[in-house]
Amino acid sequence: MADPGDVYFALRNLCRDASAALQDGGEVVISAKNRVLRPGASTGVVEIIVADNGSAMADEVLRQGSNFTTKPVWQGSGLGLGHVQQFVQESGGAIDIKSEVGVGTAVRNNDAAFIETG
C-alpha cells in the first residue's frame, strides 16, 4: 500500500535517471506485472520495472550505494535512486538493481517471495 504521489515521484526519478544514461539514443521501458506473495493469497502486489539500454553503472559504482552520483555539479542531484530506495523500504519492500556496462540498467521492486500470476 503505497501513496500514489510517492509512486509517481519514484517512477519520475527512475525515468529521468534512465533517460540521462541514453547519451547516444536508446529507450526506457516501464513494465508492470501482477504478483502474489504466497499461493492462495487473496491480495497481491504489482512489480514495476524501469529499464534502459543506456550507458549503465559499473560494478564499483553500484557497490558505493544509492548516494553516489555520476552527475556533474549543477546537473541534478543524482539522488533519485536513493529517494526511490528509501520510499520502497518505507513501504515494506526492497529494490533490485541490475546494471551492465554496454547493456543497460533495470530497477525493480523486489520481494524474494514473489510468485508470478497467470
| Nearest-angstrom CA–CA distance, 53 and 21 | 8
The helix or strand, by DSSP H or E, that contains position 51, with its residue range, turns out to be strand 44-52
**Mean pLDDT for the stretch of residues 12-20:** 86
Find residue 99's DSSP bridge partners: 105
- Which domains does the chain possess? 4-116 (3.30.565.10)
**Mean pLDDT for the stretch of residues 9-23:** 86
pLDDT, tens digit (0-9, with 9 covering 90-100), for 23-78: 888 999 999 988 877 677 667 778 889 999 988 888 877 776 555 555 555 555 55
pLDDT score, position 46: 82
pLDDT score, position 58: 80
| 43 CB burial (10 A radius; 0-12, 13-18, 19+) | exposed
Q: Are 51 and 57 in contact (CB under 8 A)?
A: no
Could you tell me which of 52, 57, 87 has the C-alpha nearest to residue 69? 57
pLDDT score, position 118: 45
Give the whole-number percent of the chain exceeding pLDDT 90. 8
CB within 8 A of 60, min separation 6: which ones?
none
